[in-house]
Structure formats: structure tokens, C-alpha cells
Structure 1
Amino acid sequence: MLIIFLGILSQWIAWRLQLPAIVLMSISGLLAGPLLGIIHPAESFGDLFGPFISLAVAIILFEGSLNLNFKEIKGFNKPVWRIVTLGAFVAWIAGSLAAHYMAGLSWAVAFVIGGLFIVTGPTVILPMLRQSKLASRPAAILKWEGIVVDPFGALLALFAFQFVLFARGDETAAAFGLFFLASLFAALLGVAAGRLMGWMFEKGLVPEYLKSPMVFAVVLLVFTVSDMVMHETGLLAVTAMGMMMANMQISSINDMRHFKENISVLLISSIFVMLTASIPLDILISIFNWRIIAFVLTMLFIVRPLSVWLSTIGTDMTVQEKTLVGWIAPRGIVALTVSGYFASTLLNEGFQDAELLTALTFALVLATVVAHGFTIGWLSRKLGLASSAEPGIIIVGASKFAAMLATALQDMNKNVLIIDAAWARLQEARLKGIPTYAGEILSEHTEYEMDLRLYDTMLAATDIDAYNSLVVSNFVPELGRGKLYQTALQVGDPTVFHSSLSGRNLFGDEWNILELESKLEQGYTIRKTPLTAQYTYEDFKNRWIPDTIPLFVKRVQGHIEFFTSDNVVEPKPGDIVVSFSPIAYQQGRIQEKIESNRLKALSQSKE
């Protein structure tokens, strides 16, 4: 209970304070485990500790690989493949040299651990990307590297171990053949399982309520069968399975992805607390050994930048992108769990210096998680690879009213984008200089064409109620229901429909998009009213013309708050109320101005 609670609490505090979640999870695990001695997960779980961690890593890695659609890296796949191949090889060699000369490990042990330390992994990269506002290119490169290299790091360490035994005469050349056959089997098993699952889903052979649980069970099966054939090949199998399903254009892939993402957040939170809480106190103290510190600094400032800069020579990556990617390489759960396996295996084979591996791995994991977690946002902003602007607003559905509303939001210095499937309907918005996108918001193609992470609010304002609700439902996992709005229903009972299926009802239940368009044709215009201590919101309401429609309030702090049917907005002095006012108000203002000018002219003539 405490493990799960501390993990999720760390995630929540990180979200509230905009801090790296991985760092807080590590700190909470260290406090509850070796420092205060409240929990001892390795002892409590006993023989289930290792299997539970391994199966959880399999699920996390599969969930990450479900996001590896090749469309995402279209146009910059060259640097991605260079980093995960040539870059990984350079990191292996350079990391092995650092382990030997800096940490003082024997060549055999250094060769094995150098292969393992090429991993970064989704357990640490994905939470960092979730909290930072990286540009799409470096974010995609880091994500692909983390997920693809994770299984290959474990396999590379296994290959190095087999080579060490072969060089010592303990293994025959046949062992190498078995290693490659087992790796091939794992990849083929993963591809076949992913293909079979996708085919069954598309043929309707699995009901909707069983799709996610079945994938969950098959992932565990594929991982375990592969790992029984040869240790550490299971990670390759589940990665291959996820990549296969991600590129099959399965219609229900998003539902599975959201389910797996929720499971992964829970598992990452729990496992990081478990692992850090299980670090013995003497291991924690030993990481301050000068050799370990020298090794960690070498990995941070020499090995990682060298591998990225060398492998990306001749690619279109900019200096800024190389600098950022060459710095960000946090190690996580895979490094901790697999190093424990190799530490015990190497010790059994007589390599006594392998007892240093646990402290070495934990020092590298802790240092990279803290250093990269706290600097990824700052460095990306310094290099111009992050959006420093406030998250913007997407309006789905092009209309004259949508263009007018977008203009009012732009006047408030808000980033606005109007999306519509028809190019012609966007003409009004284009004439007003509003950013537009012609495409289907629900299409997977749009997800890869646009960086939707730059927007945190969405208004569904088409003239089709069901479509508006579908858009809202689709984006609930990404934006949250509190940031999703739609115009009122044209037919039906809005109180029933909106409470269960739709977003927050904009401007009241009676103002659907057709009514708003009609008001615009009648001469309604946008009115901005600054509130002061002398002219309060009560004064504004007492003076407004009947049928005035309050749209939103710009708070004095700068954020926007929309008027909705389920939220009582209370504007205060310093805020600006933006409303949709009838022509009578404009005529009254014109008449007031004419009368004011007449009185001024009369006064001047008397003088």
C-alpha cells in the first residue's frame, strides 16, 4: 500500500510543483527504505520481487513501443536510426573504457556493463517528456532511442557476457549461435503475437471489453516464453510486438494505448519506489567513492555527447538538437534490474569486482535522473527547442463566429488554432490572420502532422452535436474533461447528454453554434469590458442589453476562464469580461458618442 501511495503521491506533487516526477519517486523510495527503514520491499516480496519487477518492465516497454509509429519520424528517421545503431555502439565502447579506467573494473566486467549502460528507457524518458515542452523532433528522437535501445542494451550485455565466457574457454562457438537464434526467436515471436492480436481485433474476434485485458495477458506470455528460452530476450519480444501493433492501423489502438498508459504510470511509480527503497544503506554510502563519481561524470560529459555527435555526422540534426540529445540520457529501471542479474551471474563466474556493479548502476541512475530531470526544461528553452509560450486553444469547426472568437482570444495574446476538415470553410479565419489547419482532428495523420502538445484547451464548435461529443471523448485522456468545451446542443436534453458524453457546455444551454451564427448575422459584435473597483461586474450586469452573451473572462493573472452552463464565473476588478453584444448596444454607444460630441460642440460655440 505504502509503495503505491508514495509513487502516485510523488507523481501528483511533481505535477503540482512542475518538478521531475522520477526525482521525487527516487527520493521517496530512499527515505522510506534505506534512510528511515519503514519498508523493505525486497524482503517483503521475497522470491516474487524479481519476477514482479521484470513483468512490470515488460508492460512498460510494450506500452512505450505502442507509440512507435514510423509516421512520427518521417523526414528525420536517419538521425534516429544512427543514434540507436552507431550511437549505441560508440556508447558501448566508450562506456566500457570509462568503466575500466575510471571505475577500476576488469576488462571483462567493464565490457558487460558498458553494453548495459547504453540504455535510457521509457520508464525515465517518457515522464520527462510528459512534463517538458520539447519540440517534436528532439522529443521523438529521445522517445525512440529510449524504447528501441532498452532491449538491445540488455541483449548487448548478454552478448558481451557470452563473449567473455567464450574468450575464457568456458563457452563454445555454439553458444553464440544459440544467442543469435534466441534473439531472432524473440523478435519473431513478438512480431507474430502483435500481428495475430491486430488481425483478431480487426476481424471482430475479440469483444471491446476484452481487448485491453487480452493484450495485457499476451504481453506477459510473450515476455515469459521468450525469457525462458534465453534470459533478457523477453524485452526484445514485447518491443517487437508493440511496434508491430503500432504500425498496423488498428482502429482501437488508441483505447489500448490509453489503458496501457494508465497501467504504466502506476507501475513506473511503484517500481521506482520499490527499487530505491531496496537499496542497502552500505551501497548507498559507497556511491560516494571517488572512482564511482569519476565514472559517472565521464558518462555524463564525455561518453553520451561523444556517441550522439559522432553518430549524427552528416544528418540534418541542428547543433541545438545534438546538444540537447547529447545531454539527456537518464538511466532507469532496466539498468537497475538487469545489472543486478549480471552482478550475481558474474560473481558466480569468479569475477569478484562485479560486486561493485550495484553501487555503480545506482549512482549512474540517481545522477542522470536528477541532473537530466532538472535540466531538460531549462536547457530546451535556452536552445530554443521548447515552447515558452502559454499553452494555446484549439477551436474545432470553422465558422464566422469561431473566427470572431479566435480574434478576441488573439487580442488577449492567446495562441489560437482553428481546425476544420474543409479548406474552404477556413477562409474567414485566414482572412483575419488566424492560424488554421485543414484536416480531420480525429485522424491519426493529424497527430503526426501537428504538434498538439502546444495546446491544452479545446473548443468543439461544429454544427454536428455528435461529432462535437466524439471530439471531446477522444481528447479526454490527453487534455482532461475540465479543458474540453463544446457549443450547446441543437436538439435533445443538454443536461443529460452533456453530463455523460460531452465537454463543458459553452456560454449556456441555449446558445448552440447555429444560434451564435444567427446572432452574428443580426449584427452582434464582441465587446471587451475592463472591470475596476468603481465599475464592478454587478454594474456590468445591470447595464447590459438583454440577450448579451458572456463569452469568457481574462483574469488579471492572464489566463482565460470561459462562461459555461456548469460553472459560475465571478469576474473581479482587474479582469476583462468579453461578451457577444447585440446591435442595440452598439447603436446606444454611437448615440451616446453623437450626443457627447454635440454637447462639446455647443459648449465650444458658447465660449
Structure 2
Amino acid sequence: GVLWLVLGRVRLSEELATSVQLAAVIGVAAACDALRDDTGLISAVVMGMALANLPGLELPTRRPFFETLVSLIIGLLFVSISATVTPESLRHVVLPSLALTALLVLVTRPLIAHLAAAGTDVPARERWFIGWMAPRGIVAAATASTFSAELAAHHIAGAGRILPATFVVIVATVTLYGLTAFPVARRLGVLRPSRSRPLLVGGAPWAVDLARALSAAGLDVLMWAGADEERTRIEAAGLELAPGELMASAEGIGAVLEGITDVLLLTGEDDFNALASLTLRESVEGTVRRLAPSAASEGVVAPYAGGEALFDADLTRPEIVRRYEAGARVVTRTADGPPAAGEHVLFVVRPEGRLVPVTDGVRPEPVPGDTLVLLTET
């Protein structure tokens, strides 16, 4: 536990930290197995649950290296189980296993989901969907493969059927949920629209007007700002304000920002925009873009961070602020013709709700049906 806490505070590469943490888990599991047979898996699970709830432990929600490693291990486990299950071993367990699957799907999982969600604000339809989705997998497979061979070696009646029965339950539930997830979600009305959901970071007046314009174009806009004045301005505009701290939310510490498709860094601090873009690219699934600093910027990070900047090359952060203070405004209109004099295209919103930004390297071509988000000069 001490080692895990130290790794949570020391800045190591993800690969090194993950390797050491895995070594710690394996060491604990091996020590418990040495003291008493078949206790390693239980000790590893308990260790993970305990450490994940320590107040000083901070783990990001997304860890790409760890996710890749886990996928490889799970694949190896399932291949190993499949190789040990023969048609002969399935002969007498298929029907009982399918009956067990029906019990899990129709009774056990819905009951657990409703009990777990009792007293929370989870809507009833989402509770039913949670109760429907519960494919058997890694825990059942690991437990069965760990104990079945040992029980069979001690001539426990029915021990040889544990692994084949688990195999049938896994295949049946994965197949069932894989085929029914979308129809059930649509039937219950819990589908999330495929439209872009941008997160705008910054609460300057022009950024709030930009968020209003994107919202008017039909997008689900989320905003975040650090200063109280800016947060008040966002709330007064009727826009959704992201909870928590930006970096903490992105790294999975505190409020988790789910469903974000684009992060737009629009604050008045060029160095913050640059640093945040480097950090968020590793933890946010969507694209991350920032405003370009001025050509004469003397920032510590911003002039050297690289990456694709938002908008035309001449629309740097100071230039946008200057034009807005001079009377320019952010507006939307249909793409029924080329931009007029004094109009600068910032974004194109496709008919299906996909947000396409103008960057210093890419200028999307509007087509009929698109909505243009423009900075207009009055």
C-alpha cells in the first residue's frame, strides 16, 4: 500500500508505474498463495478495492497502456479457457447453463441494479438498462479457471463441469447483450445522440457567446472556467457548467467528463491553454485544440507546444479579443453562400450535428444544409 501511494505521487511514466503496480499485486497474490492455497486471487481483488479507496491515491480514469495490457491478458485467458473446453465436456451442461443464464439475465442482474441504484437520482429507464447489461467475463473466467482444476484434483463431484458451464454462460451472455444492447437502449429511450458535445474552457464574454452560438446550432455544449466571475457569467447565460477542477476531472480525480467529443481551450492564458492541451490529449477521448498565441508571445510553453491551433492564422487569441471589444460578434447562419466581407468562419456544424472547426491547417468546405458559426465585424 505504501508503494502504491508513492507511485501515485511520484511522476513516473505510465508504463513504469503500471509495471511496478502489477508487480506489487503479483507479489501480494504470490505471498498469500504461499501461506494458503488459492487465496491469491481473493487477496489481489481485496487489495485493489482497498487501495482504490485510499484518500491519497489518485489514478486516472483512462490509462491507455494499462488498458492495452489488460486486453492482451484477457484475450489470453479466454483463448486458454476455450482450448480446454471440448464438445464432449459441454454435452451435459448446455441446458443447465442456459437456465442459469436466464436466471442471471432476468432476475439476478435487474435486482442487483435496482438495489444498488436505490436512493440515487438514476432515472428508472437507466436502471432497467443497467439491469439488462451484465455480460459475464473476466471475473467468472478467472475464478472458474483458478478453482475448478483444484476441486477436480480432490475428486469433488461436479468440479469438472465448472469450467464448461462458465464457458457457456460467458458465450451466451456476451452474444445476448451484444445483439440486444442497441435495440433495448432505443426501446428504453436512453440512447445518447450522436451529435458533437464540445467542452469550451474559458469564460470570457466572446467565449460565452461562442457557446451560445454552438448551442443554437443544436449541439450539447459544456463549459468550464476557473474564475468565479467567469463561472457566474456562464451560469447567467443558461449554459451547462462542468463541475470540479478541469485537470482533476480529465484525469479521473473528481467529476468525470463523459461523452466529450471536442475540447476547445479558449482561456486568456496562452501557457495554460498549451499545458492543458498537452495534458488532456492523454486523458480525453475527443480532440483537443487551443487558441493560437500571438506571434510575439513571450510565454514559457505556448510558443513551443506545437499542435493544431483553432481558426485562421490571423485569428490569434489577442486578435479575437481585440475584434470582439471593437464590436465583432459570434453568429450562426446557414451555409447558403460564401462568407461575406468581414465574416470569418470559426466552425461548420454538419446536418447530423458533427462539429468541424476551422484550424490553421484545415478549412472545411461548407455544403448546403450546414450551419456556419461566424465571427462577424460590425
Query: Which bin holds the TM-score, normalised by the shorter protein?
Result: 0.7 to 0.9
Distance 2:146 2:68 in 1: 28
Q: SS at the partner of 1:578?
A: strand
Distance 2:284 2:118 in 1: 38
Change (3 A) 1:334 1:556: closer
Which letter maps to 1:397?
Answer: G
- Match in the other structure for 1:565: 360
Aligned length: 375
- Match in the other structure for 1:33: none
- Match in the other structure for 1:555: 350
- The counterpart of 2:218, out of the listed 392, 413, 428, is 413
Q: Write out per-residue CA displacement over residues 492-526 of structure 1, whole angstroms, 9 at most, x where no aligned residue.
A: 689xx789846531003332323212111111123
- Match in the other structure for 2:310: 506
Change (3 A) 1:561 1:508: same
Aligned partners of 2:244 and 2:255 also within 8 Å: no
1:14-33 equivalent positions in 2, closer than 5 A: none
Q: Answer with 1 or 2: which has the greater Rg.
A: 1
Distance 1:576 1:345 in 2: 65
Q: Write out per-residue CA displacement over residues 422-467 of structure 1, whole angstroms, 9 at most, x where no aligned residue.
A: 2212344334322224653113599576451132211011111221
Q: Which runs of 5+ in 2 are unaligned?
A: none
Say whether residues 1:582 and 2:362 are aligned partners.
Answer: no
Distance 2:86 2:310 in 1: 56
Distance 1:513 1:428 in 2: 20
Change (3 A) 1:399 1:329: same
Change (3 A) 1:490 1:327: same
- Match in the other structure for 2:41: 235
Judge which range, 429-438 or 254-263, deviates more.
254-263
Aligned partners of 1:226 and 1:237 also within 8 Å: yes
- The counterpart of 2:60, out of the listed 245, 254, 276, is 254
CA RMSD of aligned residues (A): 3.7
Change (3 A) 1:389 1:337: closer
Q: SS at the partner of 1:550?
A: strand
Which letter maps to 1:466?
Answer: D
- Match in the other structure for 2:17: 211
1:277 CA drift (Å)? 4.5
1:485 CA drift (Å)? 1.0
1:400 CA drift (Å)? 1.0
Runs of 4+ in structure 1 over 6 Å off: 497-500
Identity %: 23
- Match in the other structure for 1:198: 5
Q: SS at the partner of 1:579?
A: strand
- The counterpart of 1:434, out of the listed 232, 239, 243, is 239
Q: Which runs of 5+ in 1 are unaligned?
A: 1-193, 584-607
Aligned partners of 2:60 and 2:252 also within 8 Å: no
Judge which range, 335-344 or 401-410, deviates more.
335-344
Normalised TM-score (structure 2): 0.82
Q: SS at the partner of 2:60?
A: helix
Say whether residues 1:296 and 2:101 are aligned partners.
Answer: yes
- The counterpart of 1:483, out of the listed 287, 302, 316, is 287
1:221 CA drift (Å)? 1.9
Which letter maps to 1:524?
Answer: A
Q: Write out per-residue CA displacement over residues 13-37 of structure 1, whole angstroms, 9 at most, x where no aligned residue.
A: xxxxxxxxxxxxxxxxxxxxxxxxx
Change (3 A) 1:409 1:305: closer
Give the structure with the higher percent helix: 1
Q: Write out per-residue CA displacement over residues 99-140 of structure 1, whole angstroms, 9 at most, x where no aligned residue.
A: xxxxxxxxxxxxxxxxxxxxxxxxxxxxxxxxxxxxxxxxxx
Aligned partners of 1:195 and 1:244 also within 8 Å: no
Distance 1:313 1:263 in 2: 31
Q: Write out per-residue CA displacement over residues 221-249 of structure 1, whole angstroms, 9 at most, x where no aligned residue.
A: 22222233234422333334434543445
Distance 1:499 1:257 in 2: 28
Aligned partners of 1:195 and 1:245 also within 8 Å: no
Q: SS at the partner of 2:177?
A: helix
Aligned partners of 1:459 and 1:485 also within 8 Å: yes
Q: SS at the partner of 2:347?
A: strand
Distance 2:118 2:353 in 1: 44
1 or 2 for the larger relative contact order (CA 8 Å, sep ≥6)? 1
Which letter maps to 1:473?
Answer: L
Which letter maps to 1:504?
Answer: E
Aligned partners of 2:195 and 2:353 also within 8 Å: no
- Match in the other structure for 1:222: 28
Change (3 A) 1:380 1:504: same
